[in-house]
Amino acid sequence: MKKTTRCFTLLVSTICVLSLLCAAQSRRDLRDKPEKLMDIVGVKPGMIIGEAGAGDGYLSFHLSRRVGAGGRVYANDINRRALQRLNDRCEREGVTNITTVTGKIADPLYPVNDLDMIVMIYAFHDFTEKTEWLRNAKKYIKPSAPVVIFDDQDSHTKLSKEYVATLADDAGYNLTHFEKFHNGLYIYILHLK
């Protein structure tokens, strides 16, 4: 009887934890609207995308579903533990089109040089070597590929349109698109000069 009770308790606990995780994911989806973000910047099936500052992979999994089996997502971060959690989730969910990449502070170290896009969400403001990172990222993208930054402009991040345009210019890019999305989230799109 004790063994049955323990198994039941473990099952109920697991269901509760999974429910909380799903609810948190749903709240974030409502806040960030990843499907709409991907529509705006043109994420399509078959694309090869580098995600910078991927962390645990919130956006990585949305990108993975959008690019499909014919595409690939290179999920980059400098935090090995976060990337391990991302790898563990890929294994649990059977996701095979996400490859994790441990980068450096000033270089994403993507293993390819033909990315269709680099994208990041709530990450760029934390980069300590923004200009150098952007310079190094150029060698991983196709000449027409955008670098897309989704971030906010609060007093913590200080990512004004002017500041990002200056960083882009210093690194050899033009800020080609800027828009306020919603809930304080802004979209910055950079292209090579």
Cβ contact 61:28 at 8 Å = no
The more confidently predicted of residues 34 and 134 is 134
pLDDT above 90: percentage of residues in the chain: 73
Task: Reply yes or no on whether the pLDDT at 14 is more than 90.
Answer: no
What mean pLDDT comes out for the span 179-183?
Answer: 84
- Taking alpha carbons only, the member of 83, 74, 29, 81 closest to residue 52 is 74
Task: Reply yes or no on whether the pLDDT at 60 is more than 80.
Answer: yes
Residues 69-124 pLDDT 10s: 999 999 999 999 999 999 999 999 999 999 999 999 999 999 999 999 999 998 99
In the chain, where the domains are located: 1-32, 33-192
Task: Reply yes or no on whether the pLDDT at 22 is more than 50.
Answer: no
Query: What is the structure's pLDDT at 29?
Result: 53
Gyration radius from the chain CA atoms: 18
Report CA 79 to chain centroid distance, whole Å: 13
Task: Reply yes or no on whether the pLDDT at 178 is more than 90.
Answer: yes
Pairwise CA distance, residues 119 & 162, whole Å: 20
Task: Reply yes or no on whether the pLDDT at 12 is more than 50.
Answer: no
Domain 33-192 bears CATH identifier 3.40.640.10: no
* pTM for the model: 0.83
Query: What is the structure's pLDDT at 185?
Result: 85
Query: What is the structure's pLDDT at 125?
Result: 92
Task: Reply yes or no on whether the pLDDT at 32 is more than 80.
Answer: no
pLDDT above 70: percentage of residues in the chain: 81
What mean pLDDT comes out for the span 22-43?
Answer: 72
Pairwise CA distance, residues 11 & 95, whole Å: 25
When the pLDDT of each residue in the chain is averaged and rounded to a whole number, the result is 87
Residue 44: count other Cβ atoms within 10 Å of its Cβ: 14
Query: What is the structure's pLDDT at 5?
Result: 62
Query: What is the structure's pLDDT at 38?
Result: 93
